Amino acid sequence: MRRLFQTGHWLWVEAQLRAPAWAHKRLLPGLHRAKELGRLRPLLAVHRLRGENAAGSLVVDYVGRNIRPSLEKQLFDATPRADEPRRVPLWRAALLADETDADLTVVVGGPQLIGRLPRAGAIVLPFYVQLIVDVNGCWDDLRLRFHRSVRRSVFRQIRKFGYEYEVSNCWRDFEEFYLEMYAPTLAQRKGELASPKPKREAGQIFKHGGVLHLVKRDGRYVAGALVRPIDSMLCGELLGVLHGDEQLVREGSLGAAIYAVVHWANRNGYQKVDMGGVVPRLNNGVFQAKRRWGATVMPSPTMHKQIWIKIHRRTPAVAHFFKENPLITLGPDKRLHGLIVVDDPEDVTEDVQQEWVSRYATPGLVDLRACTVADLMADGTGNGDAGRRIVAALSVDDSEAGED
């Protein structure tokens, strides 16, 4: 059975890699939705998770195939205890919104499942968001759209350490990139939570038009990025530095790899660079790094899963989770909003608002919203409903642009 599943997965990947650009736009989204629909089961397994965070104990009812590692890490300080699951019929999924003795209910699933759950008083997040960089125009104009931190740090490090890049179609270069850069970097960053793309799948991407950018320093390759062209866009697939060396990261090697992709795309007539999916959290390090390249955030066009969160009890642990994790929420109109939970929005000063704009403002977000946990329990402010306090209209703050 496992071999059959692996073969089916390989055929699915092959079909996507070989599909023409029009199929990626018109057919594949529908196939992804059909796949999610096929995964629905008549009975939903509700797992009771018990653990703690810095503010106290937390009890969560979780529905999904497996709890997402990054979500578990945000909710709990350590691996939670899991009770035997109870079953809820799919046609009675709305029962998950009823009052229980859990603090939170979290449901991860496709739009077909999330659509059965009430929106009132609930928060809906995209499973992933994409960050897309518009690379149209001349290079000198494009680089001015990058955040000042990219121009101050990445560009200076490229000059300081003499980074150069090359494009390779050599299979041996791909293998060395995968084994010596990508896999070690993912292991270094994620540890036990690492889930690398299988080498066979990555190799198929490389064979079917993937472009491998290799960054060279002092005569040796120290970083790289594998991207996949789809029509007029380059889609980021893999990224890594030699041996996952954090010193190389601090010296700008990852930034140099991103620079290589953006620069090459601009010089070779591409219109956009998809920098890949990230979790819907405003203070996530990967999100922060990618937004500084002038990226626009949008719901993932291929990952149709969503996260539905319902607060049942306003406890210190619940408040801690939301205050420590400013989120990107999905409104009923499918537009994205930034959500920041505070004790009292009226106490937020102008200086704090400006700090939020500087840290979190990203094209593609309609606004930033400040609210309390009580607001979320009452009417789901995180859904972007009208009438809530809008903190700022958004564009990337670049008021203190530095010299290149």
pLDDT at 25 over 90: no
Nearest alpha carbon to residue 271 among 140, 165, 133, 150: 133
Query: What is the rounded CA–CA span in Å between residue 298 and residue 12?
Result: 25
Query: Is 225 among the domain residues?
Result: yes
| Residue 271's pLDDT band (cuts 50, 70, 90) | very high
d(CA 361, CA 125): 18
- 395, 224, 68, 66 alpha-carbon torsion, rounded to 10°: 140
Span 177-206, pLDDT tens digits: 999 999 999 988 776 666 788 999 999 999
| Residue 266 shares a structural domain with residue 340 | no
Return the percentage of the chain with pLDDT > 70, whole number: 82
Residue 215: alpha-carbon gap to chain centroid: 25
Q: Each residue of 273-327: pLDDT tens digit?
A: 999 889 999 999 989 999 999 999 998 876 778 999 999 999 999 999 999 999 9
Shared domain check, 346 and 322: yes
> Is residue 288 domain-resident?
no
**Position 268 confidence tier, pLDDT thresholds 50, 70, 90:** very high
Q: Report the predicted TM-score, pTM, of the whole model to 2 decimal places.
A: 0.82
Same-domain status, 149 and 78:
no
Q: Mapping DSSP to helix (H, G, I), strand (E, B) and coil, where does residue 49 land?
A: strand
Q: What is the pLDDT of residues 377-401, one digit of tens each?
A: 886 655 544 334 545 444 444 433 3
- pLDDT of 12 > 60? The answer is no
Q: Which helix (H) or strand (E) holds 306?
A: strand 306-311
Assess if residue 292 is contained within a domain: no
Q: Is residue 191 part of a domain?
A: yes
Amino acid 111: pLDDT? 85
pLDDT at res. 396: 43
Cα gap 55→281, rounded to integer Å: 20
**Helix crossing, 199-207 with 2-18: angle to 10°?**
20
Average pLDDT estimate for 107-117: 88
Q: Is residue 401 part of a domain?
A: no
| Token pair 């709890």 in the structure block, residue | 67
Same domain, 144 and 78: no
pLDDT at residue 1, as a whole number = 54
The pLDDT assigned to 17 comes to: 59
| Domain count along the chain | 3
Supply the CATH number for residue 202's domain: 3.40.630.30
pLDDT at 77 over 50: yes
Shared domain for 270 and 318, answered yes or no, is no
If asked whether residues 134 and 163 sit together in one domain, one would say yes
125-138 pLDDT, tens digit each: 999 999 999 999 99
Q: Which of 232-236, 362-366, 375-379 has the lowest mean pLDDT?
A: 375-379
pLDDT at 41: 63
Q: What is the mean pLDDT of residues 204-232?
A: 94
| pLDDT on residue 36 | 60
Domain that holds residue 150: 130-278
Query: How high is the pLDDT of residue 166?
Result: 96
Using CB atoms within 10 A of its CB, is residue 261 exposed (0-12), middle (13-18) or buried (19+)?
buried
The per-residue pLDDT for range 29-70, each reduced to its tens digit, is 666 656 565 556 678 889 999 999 999 999 999 998 777 777
Q: Would you call 216 exposed, middle or buried from its count of C-beta atoms within 10 A (0-12, 13-18, 19+)?
A: middle
Residues 48 and 29 in one domain: no
Phi, psi of 371, rounded to the nearest 5 degrees: -155, 175
* Mean predicted lDDT score pLDDT of the chain: 85
Kindly state whether residue 102 falls inside one of the protein's structural domains: yes
| Whole-number pLDDT of residue 40 | 61
Dig out the tokens for 400 from the structure: 């203190």
Residue-level pLDDT at 6? 58
Query: What burial class does residue 24 get, using C-beta atoms within 10 Å of its C-beta: 0-12 exposed, 13-18 middle, 19+ buried?
Result: middle
What Rg, from alpha-carbon coordinates, does the chain have?
A: 22
- Residue that terminates a domain, selected from 278, 312, 335: 278
Q: Are residues 236 and 348 in the same domain?
A: no
Residue 386 buriedness (CB in 10 A; 0-12 / 13-18 / 19+) = exposed
pLDDT at 190: 72
Residue 213: which H helix or E strand, with range? strand 211-217
First to last CA, the chain: 57
pLDDT over threshold 80, residue 107: yes
Average pLDDT over residues 244-255: 94
Q: Are residues 227 and 326 in the same domain?
A: no
Is 318 in the same domain as 271? no
What's residue 240's pLDDT? 95
Looking at the fold, whether 165 and 104 belong to one and the same domain comes out as: no
* pLDDT given at position 399: 38
> At a CB cut-off of 8 Å and minimum separation 6, what does 55 contact?
315, 316, 317, 319, 320
Tens digits of residue pLDDT in 328-348? 999 888 899 999 999 888 888
Based on the fold, state whether residues 225 and 242 are members of the same structural domain: yes
